[in-house]
Amino acid sequence: MDETGTLMGYAYSAKVVILRGRATNFKTVDGSREWVSQIDCIGMAGTTIPPFIVFKGHVHTERMWEEAYEALGDCAIGVSKNGWSNQEIGLKWLRHFEHYTRRTKVWQRTAAKAAEEGRNSELIGYRLLVMDGHSSHINVDFIKYCWNHKIIPVCLPPHSTHLLQPLDLVIFSPLKRAYSSKVDEYAARGITGINKEYFLKILGEIRPQIYTKALIRSAFEAVGLLPYNPNRALVRCSARPSTPPPHPAEATILSSPLHPPPPDSAYARSRYQQTILNPEITPEATEACVNSLITHLQSLENSLELL
C-alpha cells in the first residue's frame, strides 16, 4: 500500500504547437489547488482493492458518497483538515483493507485446499502488507489491528520507496500523467475550477487504464518481488552518475604509489583534494597529524589490554 497526493486543478507542463512568429501564446489552466490524497493497494496476483480517497474537510455528505460511487464504484472516503492522511485515516483504511481482502477468491481457494488436506484453518488467511514508515500506519493501534486480523505488516527501509515500492515505481507516475492530461482536456473545453465531483469523475475515467493486471504485475517485477530478484533494486541503488576524468596534474599525483586512490563520495573527494593534493601542507603539519594518530592508537591499545 502507498499514498499519493494531487492538487485537484494542477496539470503538468506540456509542449504545444503555435503559429510561427507568434511571440506569446496563452493556455487556459485550472486554478484549483485543493489537496486530495489517495491511498491505494495492489496485490501480486495483479489485483487491486477500491481506492480510499482523503478530501480536505470536516464531514463528508451523502451527496459526496453518491458522486464517488457513481464515478468509482466501490470506494471509501475520508476527510482531514488538510487532505492528508493521519493516524485516524490510516486505521480506517486498514479496516477497508481487511474488508476487501479477507474473503478474496485466492483466500477461498487456499482455505478449501487446506480443508481437503486436513490442515489447521487457523493458519490460513494471513496477508502480507508492505508499506512505508509514515506515522499514519506506524503506531500501536494500527499494528495491534494487524496482528488481531491476520495481517503481517512489513515496513520498507527509510528513503527506499523509490526503489522498493511497486506503486511509487510504476503505477503513480502514469496515473498522475493521465490525470494531468484530463485536467488539460477539461480546461480546453472550458471546464475550470476542478472540484471534488470533477476529481472523482476524472479518477473514475483513468483508473481502468492504469490499474491493469499486466501493469500491476510489472510493478512487482520491477522491484524484484515477483519473481523474487533482489538484484533489480540493488542495480538501481548502486548506479552512480559518470564523472569527468581528473585534471592531468591531479592524474600524475594520483598515480604516485605514495598516494592512495581517492574516495568515492563527492564530499570525501573534496576533503581529499584539500589535504592530500594541497601543496601548502607543511612537514610540521604532517608530523603533528602522525603524532596525534600514534597517541590515539596507544590509547586504544591500553583500552584493549584492560579488557
218 and 82 part of one domain: yes
Query: 232 or 43: whose pLDDT is higher?
Result: 43
C-alpha closest to that of 36 among 74, 73, 70, 68: 68
183 and 262 part of one domain: no
In a domain, 204, yes or no: yes
In a domain, 255, yes or no: yes
The predicted pLDDT at position 161 comes to: 85
Among the residue ranges 17-31, 136-150, 255-269, the one predicted with the least confidence is: 255-269
In a domain, 198, yes or no: yes
The predicted pLDDT at position 250 comes to: 47
Using CA atoms, how far apart are residues 217 and 46, in angstroms rounded to an integer? 5
**Quick check: 275 pLDDT over 60?**
no
101 and 195 part of one domain: yes
105 and 201 part of one domain: yes
List residues bridging with 42 in a β-sheet. Answer: 48
Query: 121 or 42: whose pLDDT is higher?
Result: 42
Number of domains in the chain: 2
Using CA atoms, how far apart are residues 25 and 260, in angstroms rounded to an integer? 58
Grid cell listed for 276: 592530500
Residue 121 · residue 150 · CB < 8 Å = no
232 and 254 part of one domain: no
| Largest pairwise CA distance in the chain | 84
- 64-to-129, 150, 274 alpha-carbon distances in Å: 29, 32, 63
The predicted pLDDT at position 43 comes to: 92
Task: Please state whether beta strands 151-155 and 52-56 pair in parallel, antiparallel, or not at all (unpaired).
Answer: unpaired
Identify residue 65 by its one-letter amino acid code. Answer: W
Q: Where a domain ends, among 216, 237, 258? A: 237
Output b/e per residue, 166-190; b: 16+ Cβ within 10 A.
bbbbbbbeebbebbbebbbebbeee
76 and 196 part of one domain: yes
Domain holding 281, by residue range, is: 249-306
**Quick check: 220 pLDDT over 60?**
yes
Summarize the confidence of residues 87-93 as an average pLDDT: 94
Long-range contacts of 219-222 (CB under 8 A, 24+ apart): 219/42, 219/166, 219/167, 219/169, 219/170, 219/171, 220/42, 220/44, 220/166, 222/166, 222/169, 222/170
Residue 194 · residue 183 · CB < 8 Å = yes
Using CA atoms, how far apart are residues 302 and 307, in angstroms rounded to an integer? 9
146 and 256 part of one domain: no
Percent of the chain with pLDDT over 70: 70
In a domain, 259, yes or no: yes
Summarize the confidence of residues 24-32 as an average pLDDT: 66
Q: How confident is the model at residue 242 (pLDDT cuts 50, 70, 90)?
A: low
Grid cell listed for 152: 503481517
Q: How confident is the model at residue 229 (pLDDT cuts 50, 70, 90)?
A: confident
6 and 109 part of one domain: yes
The predicted pLDDT at position 170 comes to: 93
The predicted pLDDT at position 277 comes to: 45
Summarize the confidence of residues 187-193 as an average pLDDT: 80
217 and 302 part of one domain: no
33: helix, strand or coil: coil
21 in the Ramachandran plot: left (φ > 0), alpha (ψ -120 to 50) or beta?
left
pTM (predicted TM-score): 0.70
In a domain, 47, yes or no: yes
In a domain, 243, yes or no: no
111 and 161 part of one domain: yes
Among the residue ranges 102-106, 180-184, 258-262, the one predicted with the least confidence is: 258-262
Q: Where a domain ends, among 191, 207, 237? A: 237
57 and 180 part of one domain: yes
168 and 257 part of one domain: no
129: helix, strand or coil: strand
Q: How confident is the model at residue 263 (pLDDT cuts 50, 70, 90)?
A: low
**Quick check: 282 pLDDT over 80?**
no
In a domain, 288, yes or no: yes
Summarize the confidence of residues 33-53 as an average pLDDT: 92
Query: 165 or 114: whose pLDDT is higher?
Result: 165
Q: Where a domain ends, among 190, 206, 237? A: 237
The predicted pLDDT at position 122 comes to: 64
Summarize the confidence of residues 31-44 as an average pLDDT: 88
Among the residue ranges 25-34, 170-179, 209-218, 228-237, the one predicted with the least confidence is: 25-34
The predicted pLDDT at position 102 comes to: 80
Q: What's the length of the chain?
A: 307
